[in-house]
Each structure stands twice: as C-alpha cells, then as structure tokens.
Amino acid sequence: MAEKTEVPPMNFQSIDQHDVPKGRDGKHKRIVTRLLSDIEQLDHGVALKVPLIALPDSKENIRSALNRATRQRGIIIATSSDADFLYVWKPERTA
C-alpha cells in the first residue's frame, strides 16, 4: 500500500485562465507604437533617424522592444546607431 505524501502548499495565488490579461502594455509601448507607425510608412531605401535623446530608455532596450514587436507582426527591419541617433529601416528583400 502506498503512503500518502503531503502536498506542499502553493507558493503563488491562482486565478481562472480566462481572467489572465492577454495584452502586454510594457513601459516601451508608446515609443514602439510610434516607431511601428513610421516604419509601416517607410519606402525601401529610406531609414528613420531617431534622436537618442527622444528615447525614454537606452537604445539597447528600445531596440529590443522594437525587435519583439516587429517579430510578432512579421515585419522585417534592420537597425543601426551612432552616438546621437538610432536608425531603423526595412531591408531590401533578397531572393
């Protein structure tokens, strides 16, 4: 006969799955939304030139947030930066 083992108490609260928020409003949502709007309007061969001083966080963090958002939407972008600007463009598609 198997012995009863005590189940340890849960460490975190549980909620119904339908109550779990589905969207994510991260701290970079506002700037990423603005960048995505501009990116969608870009022609190939043209880049956005975003002053780093206009970013609410480091260029690395904004670039990461933008990368996550574009992957979710299936948008291919490229980025570069220098001491003053973040550059974002849609690269030419290669066959």
- Domain positions in the chain are 28-89
pLDDT in tens, the chain (95 residues): 667 788 888 888 888 887 776 666 678 999 999 999 999 999 888 999 999 999 999 999 999 999 999 999 999 999 999 999 999 999 987 65
Distance between CA atoms of residues 39 and 37, nearest Å? 6
Enter the pTM of the model: 0.71
